[in-house]
Every structure is written in structure tokens, then in C-alpha cells.
Structure 1
Amino acid sequence: MTDIARRPAGELEAEVLAALWAARTPLTPPQVQQSLGGTLARTTVATILARLHDKGTVVRTRTGRAYAYTPAVEDEAALAARRMHTELEKGDDRSGVLARFVSRLSPDDERVLRGLLAQAGGAGGPADEAGGLR
């Protein structure tokens, strides 16, 4: 058994995505490895990039014999929104999921959500007048 502590799930993926966002240009696995300080094995970086590709979080293009990777989402907020949509689409009770999500919002988050719905043209109906979110 090893004394090296494992990183929390998703931490390496987040670091790799941060490197890709910072680069603003497609990177190969060795370039990602270098941008992360070279402490991770190239195979580890390649595995993380392959997993991110399988999830649709990065896109890859052939560059010679290797792939170069680019984020499919523009930032952390877009990534979180994508995850929320994925979870929402997993279940059959979409309305129930949304109701539970909304019921756990803080008052500040509820205000933000109401403002965003109003900007999108989704507020102002009967549900708003009754005091609930759509």
C-alpha cells in the first residue's frame, strides 16, 4: 500500500481543464503535462484527457500522430451548467427534480434565478404571482 493520498474525484480533471482554458489553444497530452508542472505521468494526463473526451467536455483533433485537445465548454460556470443539464435529463420526473432544486435555493440564489428568468422572458406568469418559481 502507498502513503500517497489520492486526490478527490474530479480534481485532476479540473486541473487539466484549467490548463486547457488558460492555453486558449489546442494542447497535446505532453503540453498539458508540461503546463501542469510535469509532476503527473504522461499516461495519466492522456487518460484524463480521454475521459474528458468521452464525457464530451473536451474535443480532440489529430495533430500528426497525436491528438490536441480543446475544451468544449468555455469556463467553469458552463461546465457546471452542463452537469446540471445532464443530471436533469437522467430522470423521468423533470418537474420534480426542478422543484426540489428550487426549494433548496438560498434567498439570494432565488433572487438571481428570478432575475435570469425575467431576462430570458420566463417570468411574470401565474407561478410568479403565487410566489413560486416556474
Structure 2
Amino acid sequence: MASRGELEQRVMELLWSSPAPQSVADVHASLSAERELAYTTVMTVLDRLAKKGLVDRELVSRAWRYTARNPQSAVIAHEMVALLDGVAPEVRVAALREFAATLTGREAEAFSVTAR
């Protein structure tokens, strides 16, 4: 599981919420409304996210355009599975019970899947 820092997480949130691929300039403009960041910092963050396999990029007219490789829900699910991987079965079950206890009614209904 590739971890993300706070800035990487914010960039991913921007990409997840965007209906179209984003350039470094697009992401920089969005982030600049929140805080002061160098353009090269945003470029580095996007490059690292691409190397981690979290974003895809395509060269369009000499500028990279970035999109999230997977939907946010899929990334979160993968991270949850990775957290439980290798954990003793009794701890895994206890953790899942504690997690289930925090679910709203609507969320609990989404779990109406059969066990494997």
C-alpha cells in the first residue's frame, strides 16, 4: 500500500472530484486558492503519484494531463484490505466488528453481501 502525505491526499481529492484530466497548472491553481505552493512542488507531487500508480498521465500538447487511476472508493477499499492483510484472524474479526458498529443504517445495508 503506497502511503500518501497530506499534500498528496489533497491532490488526489482534486483529481477524484474533477470530471476531466487536470494539468499541473490546473492543480496548482486549485491548490493556490487554499495555500501558497510552488508550481514545481505540485509537479513533483503529481509525478510521485504517477510513480506510485495512483494517477495516470497523458502528454497533451507538451503538458501532462493527470487523472486518478481508480475511483476513491476503490482506493479506500484496497487500503482497508491491506490494513487487515496478515493480521491474526481473531484480531481481523474484532476489527471488522468494531468497524461495523460505526456504520449508519444505509451503510450497513450496503454490506448485504454473502461471505466468500
Q: Same fold (TM over 0.5)?
A: yes
Q: 1:12 deviation in Å?
A: 0.3
Specify the alignment match of 1:53 in structure 2.
50
Work out whether residues 84 and 92 of structure 2, in 8 Å CA contact, stay in contact via their aligned partners in 1: no
Match of 1:40 among 29, 37, 41: 37
Match status 1:103 vs 2:94: yes
Counterparts of 1:67 and 1:23 in 2: how far apart (Å)?
15
Q: How does the TM-score come out when normalised to structure 1?
A: 0.63
Identity %: 31
Which residues of 2 match residues 1-134 of structure 1 at below 5 A?
A: 10-37=5-32, 39-75=36-72, 77-86=73-82, 94=86, 96-97=87-88, 99-104=90-95, 105-106=97-98, 108-109=101-102, 116=111, 118-119=112-113, 121-122=114-115
Q: How does the TM-score come out when normalised to structure 2?
A: 0.71
Counterparts of 1:79 and 1:23 in 2: how far apart (Å)?
16
Alpha-carbon spacing, 1:84–1:64, altered in 2? closer, same or farther (3 Å):
same
Counterparts of 1:80 and 1:98 in 2: how far apart (Å)?
21
Counterpart secondary structure, 1:36: helix
Q: 1:58 deviation in Å?
A: 0.8
Count residues with an aligned counterpart: 107
Alpha-carbon spacing, 1:12–1:65, altered in 2? closer, same or farther (3 Å):
same
- List runs of 5+ in structure 1 lacking aligned partners: 1-8, 124-134
Q: 1:84 deviation in Å?
A: 3.2
- List runs of 5+ in structure 2 lacking aligned partners: none
Q: 1:37 deviation in Å?
A: 2.3
- The letter of the residue matching 1:37 is S
Larger radius of gyration: 1
Alpha-carbon spacing, 1:80–1:99, altered in 2? closer, same or farther (3 Å):
farther
